Chains A and B, each alone.
Chain A
Amino acid sequence: MGCGVTKNSEFNRKFDKDGNAIPAAITMKAAVLIQRWYRQYAARMEMRRRYTWNIFQSMEYADLQDQIKLYNFLGYLMDNFTPSSSERNLISHIFRDNEVCRDAEWERYFNYTNIDVPEIYSGPRLTFPLDMDQAADLVEAFKNKQQLHSRYVLQLLLETWKLLRVLPNINRVSTCHSKEITICGDLHGQLEDLLLIFYKNGMPSLEKPYVFNGDYVDRGKDSIEILLILFAFLLVFPGDVYLNRGNHEDHIINLRYGFTKEVLNKYKLHGKRILKLLQKIFSWLPLVTVIDQRVLIVHGGISDTTDLALIARIDRHRYVSALRPPKRKTPSRTNVYADSERYDEMIICKNRRGSLTFPKPFGARESFQRRSLQDFSSTVARTLEEEFEVRRRQAEFSMSRFSKSHRSLSSTLSSDSEPESSELIDTGNDEWKQILDLLWSDPMPQDGCIPNEVRGGGCYWGPDVTEDFLNRHNLQLIIRSHECKQDGYEFCHNRKVLTLFSASNYYEVGSNRGAFVRLGPDLVPYFFPYQATSMTRGLSFPQNVKRTEHTALKVLREQLFVHKSDLLRAFQEIDKENTGLICLNDWASAIERVLHLDLPWRVLHPQLVSSTTEGKLDYQGWFRDLALKKPSSEHIEQTMLETLYRHRSTLETIFRIVDTDNSGLITFEDFRQTLKLLSAYLKKEISDEVINELVISTDTNNDGSIDIDEFMEAFRLVDKSRLKRGKSLLKLMQDNESLPQVTETPQIVYSTAPQTSHCPASQPADPPASNTTDSACLQTANTPASQTADSPGSLTEGCPASQMEDLCHITVVVVPPQ
């Protein structure tokens, strides 16, 4: 029976309390019983782990899709609004191409020499050229939560920029001299993980070369620190540190996923310049790394058209954002335009439309792009004649302003049948596609290569494409990142593709491990998984699963709740007799129709539904059960609030785009325009009354402008307990007489702001271990007076009341903003 071998030996004899020997059979039976139960327990745990993972992943991808859609929508606006419309002006700047690098000018703009460093600044003071000790000191400083002064930041970034400009698109590394190369995947602003890697593996040096595979920023809260560390080591060991570009090294993505916000919050005075410089640096990051001409390291992946020879030749810095098509190279372009800005826009419009109307080799992906735009208007599907007409009109408009010498150029604008011009578009688009594929693609198990519709960019590529690619380029392995994996790494495609992910606890504390890889001359990968444990200390695997599951379900409930109106409508359509009841099957299929998350709703239903009677669910009651406290306003209708809440990420992204000077503030008028944009995007009416009400009810600084962060504060679902606590802190702060008036909006408040992150929910319900609260409470004097909204929100949750009072005192330290 069974697989166990029973030894009927004395050793296994058991005795009861009277000293009588228990027959072996009974012992055996008992053992088997326990084992059976254990196995059931383990299986159930595994199931929970799986659906939890699915929940997080679907929500992450849904969010990403939203970003792409938004971007396409804005592009559509650019193409189709008249040049002078106010909406267009608001957003045109993100489509403005990077000016050709006139370095001297830029270096003047990024000049740091007139930035003074105050005496009391106790962070690292860098001198260039950097050396190993300074790099190590920098790591140490960040470990101690210090912040590098903006002067040094700019200086370091400038040096980095200069270095990156001379690097090729393809880094070539060799493992000669028995050097083992360490490779790391996505870090996403999680400094803890980088420190852990350095702790386990040592810091980069001549003997210890490193390759970092992109996605250093966004989502986590220490993105800038990670960048500074990596750049510092790059400067000290340029022959032994290799950085690849990831899809998040892209200012448009940064607007939504937290990096822009982080920099602006940490560097209030100079943040804008730092971001601009980073834009350039990102565009200059190399695209891929090749080890020993055998192993390819790239952030996203490949497609069936990926060609390393072509990639080597690209001017990579022209692609500031992988989401933006390139500026066309025009032969007669000089600098004497009266309105070069408008010209740029026209060129860009032309390119984009070019991609819509000309038959392209990309086929499926282009039609996907076109489809997304078609979502927004039926007029997009224009005939060719209409296209030419529009373009001719635009050309005429510009022609009237330009001198004759450019007429030839304008004429090429209107007659696109010229092979030369279309060729130029082709090359531009070819290169663009190559980069997009490198940075955004994902592997799939089936053969073939199809557009990556989940992410909205790049493609899904199959094992046959891998095989073909490796053969063509004489390679043996592809190492990529871009996707979170449970154990930090995962092979696929017959072990020819390795996914490596270095941000542990990515979705939630305990959700996954991170890993780094070491390759020696034998090119056999050795894996080193880890998990940053400050918050998972002492938690067993089942506890981790439960905790992660708890958060996932909370997030899911929130999603269900904010889709209440749509769900209600769907339920009522099914429940034609208006009984208020709906069977489980219908419930599950209705939810899937509305949310499109592809989740196992039946498996999840015990967690989401408290009770059913005779297999039927009372849906009104269910919504009541789900109810969380909503932000309320007497004048604004609930469904409108719900809509705005649901799309708050999009709203915030539009805000940040509209906030052209990156100050964190926008005018009333722009705010109004933003809401109109959102209304058009969602195809939902947001009436003027609502907009006015929102403007009025937002607690502005009384200076005619709206603080973006503050506005977004209003849009958080707060559950009652947290609200109570929040109120008490506020009261505490108000009561505390010795608290001088802080003119800036105090940002260290009851806000546990949902990070614009993968996990739309705020902090986990259980306050993290005291480590984080300690570190947050003891911010040094170097940081600006108001703490970032992104700092561990657990300030209020974890801190006992007495500490809160101390907190109030600490935040009062006034330091000249950096």
Chain B
Amino acid sequence: MAPKKKEEPKPAAAPKPPEPEPPKEPEFNPAEVKLEFTAEQIEDFKDAFQLFDRTPTNEMKITYAQCGDLIRALGQNPTNAEVMHVLGKPKAEDMNVKMLDFDQFLPMHQHICKAKDRGTFEDFVEGLRVFDKEGNGTVMGAELRHVLATLGEKMKEDEVEQLMAGQEDANGCINYEAFVKHIMAG
């Protein structure tokens, strides 16, 4: 006779500190964004927008995938997450298909421009200093490559290459202040 399976109360789950739920970000609502750009700035944006416009008849439309590039080309540096947010969290397959026009673009751009945590030169240097083991102003190129390719919003290998091209010295070290200047100067 099979012993009746006693319904054992499941062992109480080990008290795990509940993972802090990522703050539920409200969906991006373009209508709520107040545009504070000057007319001059808008003209500038239009010019740049046209440069990215690859539609046959110059319809002043760009793909979702290009939106992030355009915002960055205009001087902002949002994370990919932030870009996805203003785009309304599109699906991966939509990125190259869905288009937005200039009027849809403006509130997105405005939102990014207003974002607080923009990152200055010092922040950037601080970020790199994290990897400065010896505290001597240099980071190991190899380590930086590894970090950039495996952590955060991962970069692809060729992107890492492009970034680091010519930056490492003979010992494979990078002087990060110079590095930061290089990136920011373009």
CB-based contact A31/B48 at 8 Å: no
Distance between Cα atoms of A54 and B53 in the complex (Å): 13
Contact check: which of A6, A14, A50 meets B130 at CB < 8 Å?
A14
User: Does the CB pair B51–A35 fall under 8 Å?
Assistant: no
Task: Tell whether A41 is near chain B: CB-to-CB under 8 Å.
Answer: yes
DSSP majority for the A interface?
A: helix
A703 → chain B, closest Cβ, in Å?
54
Question: Is B27 interfacial (CB 8 A cutoff)?
Answer: no
Complex CA gap A550/B181 in Å reads: 20
Is the beta-carbon distance between A600 and B153 smaller than 8 angstroms? no
Q: Mark B14-54, 1 if CB is under 8 A from A, else 0.
A: 00000000100000000000000000100110111011100
Collect the chain A residues with CB atoms within 8 Å of residue B71's CB: 43
A603 with B162, Cβ < 8 A, contacts A44-B186, A46-B69 known: no
A43:B72 contact, CB within 8 angstroms: yes
Check B81–A2 contact: CB distance below 8 A. yes
**Residue in contact with A30 in the complex, picked from B40, B55, B80, B128, CB distance below 8 Å:** B128
User: A444 in the interface, Cβ–Cβ < 8 Å?
Assistant: yes
Q: A39-B68, A43-B68 are in contact. Are A602 and B47 (CB under 8 A)?
A: yes
CB of A2, distance to nearest CB on chain B (Å): 4
Q: Give B61-84 interface residues, CB cut-off 8 Å to A.
A: 68-73, 75-81
Residues of A within 8 A of B151 (CB): 4, 6, 12, 27-28, 31-32
Is B153's CB under 8 angstroms from A4's CB? yes
Q: Does B10 contact A (CB under 8 A)?
A: no
Minimum CB–CB distance from B185 to chain A (whole Å) comes to 9
**Do the beta carbons of A40 and B77 come within 8 Å of each other?**
yes
Does A1 sit within 8 A of B, measured CB to CB?
yes
B43 neighbours in A (Cβ, 8 Å): 584-585, 602
A674 to chain B, nearest CB (A): 40
Q: Which A440-481 residues have a C-beta within 8 angstroms of B?
A: 444-446
Q: A34-B148, A46-B69, A600-B48 are in contact. Are A40 and B76 (CB under 8 A)?
A: yes
Provide the B108-124 mask, 1 if CB < 8 A to any CB of A, else 0: 00000000000100011
Contact flag A3-B68 (CB < 8 Å), given A16-B133, A34-B127: no
| A46, B159: Cα distance in complex, Å | 13
* A:586-603 near B, CB below 8 Å: 588, 600-603
A35, A45, A446, A603: the one within 8 Å of B152 (CB):
A35
Q: For A615, give the chain B residue with the smallest CB separation.
A: B40
Docked complex Cα distance between A39 and B153 (Å): 10
CB-contact partner of B133 in A15, A35, A39, A54, under 8 A:
A15
Q: Does A96 contact B (CB under 8 A)?
A: no
Q: Which residues of B contact A4 (CB under 8 A)?
A: 151-154
Contact yes or no, A41 B130, CB < 8 A: no
- Chain B interface extent, by class: 35 or more
Q: In the complex, which residue of chain A has the Cβ closest to the Cβ of B25?
A: A1
Known A37-B183, A540-B162, A603-B44; contact A44-B153, beta-carbon cutoff 8 A:
no
**Contact call B72/A3, Cβ cutoff below 8 A:** no
List of B residues within 8 angstroms of A600 by Cβ: 47-48, 50-51
Q: Cβ of B170 < 8 Å from any Cβ of A? A: no
How far, in whole Å, are A43 and B71 apart by their CA atoms in the complex?
8
Q: How far is the CB of A483 from chain B (nearest CB, A)?
A: 15
Complex-state Cα separation, A91 to B166, whole angstroms? 56
Provided the pairs A1-B22, A17-B133, A44-B72 are in contact, do residues A603 and B77 lie with their beta carbons within 8 angstroms? no
A603 x B80 contact (CB < 8 A)? no
* Bound: A583/B124 CA distance, A: 36
B150 interface residue (CB < 8 Å to A): yes
Q: State which of A33, A445, A603 has its C-beta within 8 Å of the C-beta of B47.
A: A603
Q: Is the CB of A41 within 8 A of B148?
A: no
- Whether A765 sits at the interface, judged by CB under 8 Å, is no
User: Is A26 positioned at the interface, with any CB of B under 8 Å from its CB?
Assistant: yes
A39 touches B166 (CB 8 A): no
Q: Report the bound CA distance from A444 to B150 in whole Å.
A: 42
Contact A30/B131 with A35-B152, A602-B47 known, Cβ cut-off 8 Å: yes
- In the assembled complex, the Cα of A30 lies from the Cα of B144 at a distance in Å of 11
Chain A residue numbers with a CB within 8 Å of B11 are: none
Chain B residues within an 8 Å CB radius of A47: 48, 51-52, 69, 73
In the complex, are the beta carbons of B119 and A33 less than 8 A apart? yes
Determine if A31 and B159 form an interchain contact, defined as CB atoms under 8 angstroms apart. Answer: no
A731 in contact (CB, < 8 A): no
Q: Is the CB of B79 within 8 A of A41?
A: no
Contact A37 B124 (CB under 8 A): yes
Task: List, in ascending order, chain B residues with CB within 8 A of A51's CB.
Answer: 51
Instruction: Choose from A1, A29, A33, A39 the contact partner of B72 (Cβ within 8 Å).
Output: A39
B interface, CB within 8 angstroms of A: 22, 40, 43-44, 46-48, 50-52, 55-57, 68-73, 75-81, 119, 123-124, 126-128, 130-135, 144, 147-148, 150-155, 159, 162-163, 165-166, 180, 183-184, 186
What are 27 A-B pairs at a CB distance below 8 A? A2-B152, A2-B153, A3-B154, A16-B133, A17-B133, A26-B130, A27-B147, A28-B151, A30-B126, A30-B131, A31-B152, A32-B79, A33-B119, A34-B147, A34-B148, A37-B124, A37-B183, A40-B75, A43-B68, A43-B70, A46-B69, A46-B73, A50-B51, A541-B165, A543-B166, A602-B44, A602-B46
**A-B interface, 8 closest residue pairs, ranked by CB to CB distance from nearest:** A445-B56, A43-B72, A31-B152, A30-B127, A602-B47, A540-B165, A32-B152, A40-B77
